[in-house]
Structure 1
Amino acid sequence: MRAAAEAAEAVRDRLGTDAVDLGFVLGSGWSAGVDAIGETLAEAPLAELPGFSRPVVAGHGGMLRLVRTPAGKRALLFTGRTHFYEGRGVEAVVHGVRTLAALGGTVLVLTNGCGGLDPTRGPGTPVLIGDHLNLTGQSPLRGATFIDMTQAYPKRLRDLARSVAPELTEGVYAQFRGPQYETPAEVRMAGALGADLVGMSTALETIAAREAGLEVLGISLITNLAAGISPQPLSHAEVVQAGLDAGPRLRDLLSRLAGVL
């Protein structure tokens, strides 16, 4: 955890804050709502902070921003994340989570863009994550670290989200290793295991968050129907465009959430 402590100290120096209350990781498509979460107090490029790298995925930003939310909380906004498929190791993937915890954060909002298995929930639909399947074959935990994952995404936070956005449904998210998109057979397997959503992030971060004592609110934006369900081949351009199209809806949702978290 030394890397997180060093990063937290750098954040204190660069952003001028001793501690924060919560954090938001804005995944594919979600950076459109960065200005809706609160008043910007300070910001710095992620790549200039210890242990972080410039995001490599189109649709992700590259800044760490400190804001004051409408609820009066201090929040860190990560406008990009490190994905496991980048080959930097699990520790790099969860570095932001552990840095947030080192700064005193207690709640983490994890967002992502994903493929949907339910044809009735089309592109542009945000979905609460009620549980996940970690299909990466990896974990950020080391040794005999037995963390309870029964309430990985607490009902308290999901109910709070629905109090400001009653239209939100929920589902089970499956994280694959990537970077290739899932095959139709893999999507069918995930569905047979109980998944409603498939993607390449979030589950590993949630495990690290639970180890650190953070509560997690997970929200996926369905950017496309998954392979074998969509009649069209998958492309990252489709993912980016779906995020752009959903921008106003995501801004409104993040604004409402920031008022109650």
Structure 2
Amino acid sequence: MNHQDAVTSISRLIREKLGNIQAGTLGLILGSGLGPVAEAIAHRLDIPYADIPGMPLSGVAGHDGFLRSGLLAGRPVLALCGRVHLYEGKTPAEVCLPVRALAQLGVRTLVLTNAAGALNPLFSAGGLMLITDHINMTGQNPLTGPNNGAFGPRFPDMGRAWCPGLLALARRKAARLGLLVERGVYVQVPGPSLETPAETRAYRRLGADAIGMSTVMEAIAARHMGVRLLGVSCLTNKNSPDCMEEISHEAVLATAARASEQLVRLLEALAASPELDTEYGKA
């Protein structure tokens, strides 16, 4: 089965289980340790990834493994609870299968979340960062190979990969909630090893404010299909090259879980906003 057939098969099965996807449905991808966000979704129906033939399965702690349909602040949502990563041996195409399926189902606005290390010395662990731009340091791209015109153009423009309108809306909502939300550039590395002090300095000099092992592949695939994006990183640790502290995956998950409360409040405010259904911030 080729990639397009796999995407079509996955989206068809989801539609068979859920029925037609409502206009205005918001897509969510929940990163490491951010499973508690899914608990805010009401009237939910879950489809385990294992019940969706062709859906890639994650073997990483902190990534659940199901698609949740329901309502967030009254808005229909489709939430991918758990993702796969390049460091698991997955290809970029496999990593992006779920995102492409959401786009084929009609999702036009997608929020990508992740757990990330703070590179910017002014940022603190436990907070949120809105992604303004990204750097791809994986050496891979989901669009490599023959272009599928059914998905998008051969050379998609990435000058506005992260929707400025959604970013502005998220900043306003955060301010009204009294949430301190940073803005910055996210860099994806392949992983799974964490960064050395020298690598931390190098990525910072490149202009990155936060670092992680997901999100950019999905962002490229989503923009290729015309989906507008908002990115939110939960800053789970602080990368200070002159005083690097040991960090464990368990500690990252614990901090992400604590940051989930802020993320839930922000996502609920965004979901409740009628501006998501207007031309405001159109990609």
- The reply to whether TM is greater than 0.5 is yes
Q: Are 1:69 and 2:69 counterparts?
A: no
2:170 is matched with 161
TM-score, structure 2 as length reference: 0.86
2:151 is matched with none
Aligned with residue 125 of structure 1, among 107, 124, 127: 127
Looking at structure 2, the residues matched to 247 and 207 of structure 1 have their Cα atoms a distance apart, in angstroms, of: 25
Q: Greater shift after overlay, 218-227 or 126-135?
A: 218-227
Q: Greater shift after overlay, 20-29 or 85-94?
A: 20-29
Shift of 1:235: 1.3
SS of the aligned residue for 1:172 comes to strand
Shift of 1:57: 1.7
Shift of 1:122: 1.4
Aligned with residue 180 of structure 1, among 193, 198, 205: 193
Q: Percent identity?
A: 41
Shift of 1:244: 2.3
Judged with a 3 Å threshold, the aligned counterparts in structure 2 of structure 1 residues 227 and 6 are, in CA distance, closer, same or farther, namely farther
How do 1:176-255 and structure 2 match up within 5 A? Answer: 176-226=189-239, 228=241, 231-255=244-268
1:33 is matched with 37
Aligned with residue 100 of structure 1, among 99, 102, 125: 102
- Could you say what the CA RMSD is over the residues aligned between the two structures, in angstroms? 1.7
Looking at structure 1, the residues matched to 106 and 17 of structure 2 have their Cα atoms a distance apart, in angstroms, of: 17
Looking at structure 1, the residues matched to 18 and 44 of structure 2 have their Cα atoms a distance apart, in angstroms, of: 8
Looking at structure 1, the residues matched to 201 and 51 of structure 2 have their Cα atoms a distance apart, in angstroms, of: 41
Do 1:182 and 1:227's aligned partners in 2 also have CA atoms closer than 8 Å? no
Looking at structure 1, the residues matched to 173 and 198 of structure 2 have their Cα atoms a distance apart, in angstroms, of: 37
Shift of 1:41: 3.9
Q: Which residue identity lines up with residue 161 of structure 1 in the other structure?
A: A
SS of the aligned residue for 1:44 comes to strand
SS of the aligned residue for 1:139 comes to coil
Q: Which residue identity lines up with residue 218 of structure 1 in the other structure?
A: G
Q: Which residue identity lines up with residue 233 of structure 1 in the other structure?
A: E
Judged with a 3 Å threshold, the aligned counterparts in structure 2 of structure 1 residues 94 and 227 are, in CA distance, closer, same or farther, namely farther
Shift of 1:184: 1.4
Q: Greater shift after overlay, 175-184 or 8-17?
A: 8-17
Measured against aligned partners, the alpha-carbon deviations of 1:64-107 in whole angstroms (never above 9, x if no partner) come to 011133353x2210110011111121111001110001101101
Looking at structure 1, the residues matched to 259 and 127 of structure 2 have their Cα atoms a distance apart, in angstroms, of: 8
Structure 2 gap ranges (5+): 148-153, 277-283
Do 1:133 and 1:172's aligned partners in 2 also have CA atoms closer than 8 Å? yes
Q: Greater shift after overlay, 108-117 or 57-66?
A: 57-66
Shift of 1:33: 1.3
Q: Are 1:22 and 2:26 counterparts?
A: yes
SS of the aligned residue for 2:247 comes to coil
Judged with a 3 Å threshold, the aligned counterparts in structure 2 of structure 1 residues 234 and 215 are, in CA distance, closer, same or farther, namely same
Looking at structure 2, the residues matched to 199 and 172 of structure 1 have their Cα atoms a distance apart, in angstroms, of: 11
Looking at structure 2, the residues matched to 229 and 128 of structure 1 have their Cα atoms a distance apart, in angstroms, of: 26
Looking at structure 2, the residues matched to 82 and 218 of structure 1 have their Cα atoms a distance apart, in angstroms, of: 17
Do 2:192 and 2:213's aligned partners in 1 also have CA atoms closer than 8 Å? yes
1:152 is matched with 161
Q: Which residue identity lines up with residue 42 of structure 1 in the other structure?
A: L
1:50 is matched with 53
Shift of 1:245: 2.3
Shift of 1:18: 4.3
Do 1:24 and 1:75's aligned partners in 2 also have CA atoms closer than 8 Å? yes
1:82 is matched with 84
